[in-house]
Amino acid sequence: MKHIIIGTAGHIDHGKTTLIKALTGRETDTTREEKERGISINLGFTFFDLPSGKRAGIIDVPGHEKFIKNMLAGVSGVDVVVLVIAADEGIMPQTEEHFEILQLLNVKKGIIALTKSDLVDEEWLEMVESEVEEHFKGTFLEGAPIIPVSSKTGMGIKDLIGEIDKATEEVDPKDTEGHFRLPVDRVFSISGFGTVVTGTIIGGKVKEGDTVKVYPSMNSGKIRSIQVHEENVPVGEAGQRCALNITNVKVEDIHRGDVVSIADIMEPSMIIDCKLYHLKNAEKPIENRQRLRLYHGTNEILCRVIILDREEIKQGEEAYVQLRLESPITAQRNDRYVLRTYSPMVTIAGGSIIEPVAPKAKRFNENYLKELKIKESGDPKDIVESTLLGISSKYPTEFDILKALGKNHEDIEDILKELIDSNKIIKLTSSDKNVYIHKKYYENKLKELIDLLEKYHKENPLKFGMSKEEIKSRVFGKEIKQKNYDEILEIMQREALIKLNDSFVALGDFDVKYTKDQKDIKDRIIAIFKSSGYNSPKYSDMEGNERDKKTFKMVYESLVDTGLLIKVAEDVVYLKEDYLRAKESIKTYIEENESIGAAEARNILDTSRKYAVALLEHFDSIKFTKRIEDKRILY
């Protein structure tokens, strides 16, 4: 079912509240001050049933210039606006400012109600209609119905209701499958129930028992009950005005402007990237670092505007900007916003949010601007790819990508598969949840790794390669999980770009090359080990017979690095062929005898107990054998 919110807008004392009463039979000015002063100060909310059977929520916004902040909080969730213009006064300053705000917020459907039409004659009314029709040419209100009404006599009220009903048929349905979001416009406590927040659900749905989070405070609670149009319901959906009774959250911990949403899908931010349109009738250009008031949802935040693609923004121009905020915002991509001057408060600009969680950017950075244009384009595949490029260093899961996108994509799996198939991104499957990285990120890391290894091989020509752990720290950072790191190295090895050897990494085309003297030392070391069998020779004894101890050490370590010598324990080292033969002999013995002890190992290897125990403990450590009391079985 389509849910509709109707909003009013217009100059003070043009009869918005009275018109709503005529439409619905309900009073939206509820405070004593509003009734005494005869003006709306805060937002008013009610509902009425349309002839088609749809029930529409209706929001009454204040018209006085002092309460534009409240007007903005109300109009952000509106589907159809009734722009109220008094027939006896015509278009006034707040009519114009409200209309500009509606355009900046991308409201697409509207009706013009000429109130107090009973106070003017037919000729005057025709003149006002003509003036209004001309004034709104070229805007979303061009061709909109203009309905003369009188809340006092009832003139035109039925016609207005009919036009509202017709307009609701043309409104696009809300995204009820996306992330649930409700910008808070009121918060209060009810005895026996606790904290209640109200607002218009702008995305997704919420049901009783759901766990929600209040942003940006990050307080969590559960939905105890939901009320829509004064009736308890099990589910609230996008497009409905809703009251939520939330447990475990205090009234003082929630404020107008906060957002109630699902846990962990959003992220408060102090910087947002935006497309900005500067109103043609603004008094002067927007300057870089100008302090402004940002209105988003039901929130008002002070900010500085950083102009990314020009020196200043002239009236009527569009620009890419970064808004650096004085308090955090919780937004999603494509959200609309409005900017007003700090003092005096005048509406001057607005637009859409491109990146809701942005890094601090430098001005006139062509690459950064290119990425913003891609994100602004609206092509889901391009946006996902661009977003993933920006967060690949965090090794994101599908959920992380959705969070970074700031918007739900039902077809995210299809988009990711398409990007994988076109070799734009890489899917890592080794950890509990699949991780995705951009191909450019992979290539950048590969280049860093190759540069590092080239330098290492040059400085250490007799070493097989560099430690895996050191490479992980220096190239891939702390964010990567070990399984994902190993998988990336395996991909590089399959492409013959690198080669792996236990704990070391080398370039794919690197081989240790010995000089004649070094080769002689190598041959002497191997000969010693061959003659020693399983009685491992001591390094100090071998080194003692060498004149060039430094070169001897380099050659010896290279044999260990390349795996020709296997280090079992401190000062217990074997030739690789002897090590593998020992491993096979012990395996065969256990298979035939169920277990092996140190004495049996000593006998079959023809060595001392010391070396037999060292080998068995080593095999335990690599999970080849398992010790049970004084025996070993196969792991």
Q: How much is the pLDDT for 126?
A: 94
Q: How much is the pLDDT for 437?
A: 96
Give the chain's mean pLDDT. 89
Distances (CA, A) of 297 to 22, 183, 444: 28, 6, 39
Tell me what the mean pLDDT of segment 268-290 comes to.
95
pLDDT tens-digit map of 330-347: 998 888 999 999 988 899
Question: Is 80 exceeded by the pLDDT of residue 69?
Answer: no
pLDDT tens-digit map of 214-231: 999 999 999 999 999 888
We find that the CATH architecture of domain 4-169 is 3-Layer(aba) Sandwich (3.40)
Question: Is 80 exceeded by the pLDDT of residue 31?
Answer: no
- With CA atoms as reference, report the closest residue to 268 among 202, 207, 219: 219
Q: Name the residue type at position 550.
A: K
Tell me what the mean pLDDT of segment 185-209 comes to.
90
> CA-CA distance, 525 to 537, in Å (whole number)?
10
pLDDT tens-digit map of 512-527: 888 999 999 999 999 9
Can you list the alpha helix ranges (DSSP code H) found in 120-202? Answer: 122-135, 157-169
- With CA atoms as reference, report the closest residue to 182 among 208, 210, 203, 196: 203
pLDDT band at 283 (very low <50, low <70, confident <90, very high): very high
Q: What are phi and psi of 167, to 5 degrees?
A: -65, -35
> CA-CA distance, 270 to 626, in Å (whole number)?
55
pLDDT band at 266 (very low <50, low <70, confident <90, very high): confident
pLDDT tens-digit map of 344-360: 889 999 999 999 989 99
Q: How much is the pLDDT for 433?
A: 92
pLDDT cut 90: percent of the chain above it:
64
Q: What are phi and psi of 519, to 5 degrees?
A: -65, -35
pLDDT tens-digit map of 348-394: 999 999 999 899 999 999 999 998 998 888 788 888 998 899 899 99
The topology under which CATH files domain 378-513 is Arc Repressor Mutant, subunit A (1.10.10)
pLDDT band at 132 (very low <50, low <70, confident <90, very high): very high
| Lookup: tokens for 84 | 């109220």
pLDDT band at 41 (very low <50, low <70, confident <90, very high): very low
> CA-CA distance, 312 to 300, in Å (whole number)?
24
pLDDT cut 70: percent of the chain above it:
94
Question: Is 90 exceeded by the pLDDT of residue 27?
Answer: no
Q: How much is the pLDDT for 85?
A: 95
Question: Is 50 exceeded by the pLDDT of residue 501?
Answer: yes
Helix (H, G, I), strand (E, B) or coil at 466: strand
Question: Is 50 exceeded by the pLDDT of residue 64?
Answer: no
The topology under which CATH files domain 516-634 is Arc Repressor Mutant, subunit A (1.10.10)
pLDDT tens-digit map of 70-129: 656 556 668 899 999 999 999 998 899 889 988 888 888 999 999 999 999 999 999 999
> CA-CA distance, 129 to 113, in Å (whole number)?
10
Question: Is 50 exceeded by the pLDDT of residue 29?
Answer: no
| Lookup: tokens for 304 | 């500085």
Q: How much is the pLDDT for 76?
A: 63
The topology under which CATH files domain 181-262 is Elongation Factor Tu (Ef-tu); domain 3 (2.40.30)
The topology under which CATH files domain 269-369 is Elongation Factor Tu (Ef-tu); domain 3 (2.40.30)
With contact defined as beta carbons under 8 Å apart, do 83 and 98 qualify?
A: yes
Contacts 24+ apart (CB under 8 A), 53-56: 54/1, 54/2, 54/4, 54/165, 54/168, 55/229, 56/4, 56/5, 56/6, 56/164, 56/168
Q: How much is the pLDDT for 40?
A: 37
- The yes-or-no answer to whether 181-262 and 378-513 have a common fold is no
- Strands 504-507 and 498-501: what pairing? antiparallel
> CA-CA distance, 406 to 355, in Å (whole number)?
8
Q: How much is the pLDDT for 374?
A: 87
* Other beta carbons within 10 Å of 11: 24
Q: Is the dihedral of CA 227, 233, 237, 239 positive or negative?
A: negative
Tell me what the mean pLDDT of segment 484-508 comes to.
93
Q: Where are the beta strands (DSSP E) in 92-210?
A: 109-115, 146-148, 181-190, 194-200, 205-207
Q: How much is the pLDDT for 408?
A: 59
Question: Is 80 exceeded by the pLDDT of residue 33?
Answer: no
With contact defined as beta carbons under 8 Å apart, do 201 and 181 qualify?
A: yes
Predicted TM-score of the model (pTM) = 0.71
Q: Which one has a higher pLDDT value, 143 or 70?
A: 143
- The residues spanned by each domain of the chain are 4-169, 181-262, 269-369, 378-513, 516-634
Question: Is 70 exceeded by the pLDDT of residue 409?
Answer: no
Side-chain half-sphere exposure of 73, counting CA atoms within 13 A = 25
- With CA atoms as reference, report the closest residue to 9 among 125, 131, 140: 140
| Lookup: tokens for 135 | 């004034």
Q: How much is the pLDDT for 179?
A: 81
Q: Which one has a higher pLDDT value, 389 or 62?
A: 389
Q: How much is the pLDDT for 410?
A: 61
Q: How much is the pLDDT for 403?
A: 81
pLDDT tens-digit map of 221-257: 999 999 998 889 999 998 888 899 999 999 999 998 9
